Structure 1
């Protein structure tokens, strides 16, 4: 929370804009990284707009433990796109995870924690949805830690440097030339 307060400090008026720029740069690098790891194939699935990044992060940066088997895909831990007649309340009641999730409908997005809706925002602001998600995500896993370190520019405490995080970050840093 201290890191988030620092970022949102009223005297730090450029932090959100800078974070959005880093997010755009990160998304471009992740496209190529996903192709390099043979997890994405050109044309990279960009037809679904900005949702692809939240879908691919758990695969590119897997985290031990594996997600519950009730989830169709690891990306369901971060994001769920509602089917045409699916109700967000029904989805939240049957969701097996208590962590924050972005739920996307045809016109809007909903941030929820467990089965409790927190806020809604227009679908065109989905890129900012990742920031909303991070602000509410307490049990940081590797696929959210990559956002924490690359977008928020936070450092990870030594005790959180798991072997999978170290391996994933070493591959990422080698790929981006750092």
Structure 2
């Protein structure tokens, strides 16, 4: 309630790994698994600190109107702040971090409607898919 689209999208991204948990925990230095999905560099953070992160996962650096998407310490693209998305993993063929692999596999199959490789049919993915089908009434 009362949140703009960017805050709503970031809120959803933060909670998604809890809804579709993977069997691997996030590295302790990372904290919450949502940090493997996306990290939003806050105004008070040093922009160089994102290079010290334990995973080479996407980072959003926000300004008042734009975002810079970087993977590791490599800037990838600039985009309008209101276009925050998770499809960059899929688009850039990034390996899913284990702590959010189940979530990203569910997004790949259910949102992007892409098939999943047989080796990625993990028990946690199968459980999440069963829970998802019960949730949507299939």
TM over 0.5: yes
Structure whose alpha-carbon radius of gyration is higher: 1
Q: Deviations over 1:69-100 (max 9, x none)?
A: 00121100011122222233x1322111023x
Q: Distance in 2 between matches of 1:102 and 1:170?
A: 31
**Structure 2 Cα separation of the partners of residues 104 and 52 of structure 1:** 16
Per-residue deviation, 1:133: 3.5
Match in the other structure for 1:85: 44
Structure 2 stretches of 5 or more lacking a match? none
**Does the CA contact (< 8 Å) of 1:111 and 1:120 recur in 2?**
yes
State how 1:27-176 maps to structure 2 within 5 Å. 48-88=7-47, 90-99=48-57, 101-107=58-64, 108-126=66-84, 129-140=85-96, 141-176=101-136
CA–CA distance in structure 2, aligned partners of residues 46 and 166 of structure 1:
33
Number of residues of Structure 1 aligned to a counterpart in Structure 2: 131
Return the alpha-carbon distance in structure 2 between the equivalents of residues 82 and 113 of structure 1.
13
What TM-score, normalized by structure 2, do the two folds share?
0.82
**Superposition RMSD on alpha carbons, in Å?**
2.0
Q: Which has the higher contact order (CA 8 A, sep 6+)?
A: 2
> For 2:116, what is the secondary structure of its paired residue?
coil
Q: Which runs of 4+ in 1 moved over 4 A?
A: none
TM-score relative to the length of structure 1? 0.66
Distance in 1, Cα, partners of 2:8 & 2:16? 15
Larger helix percent: 1
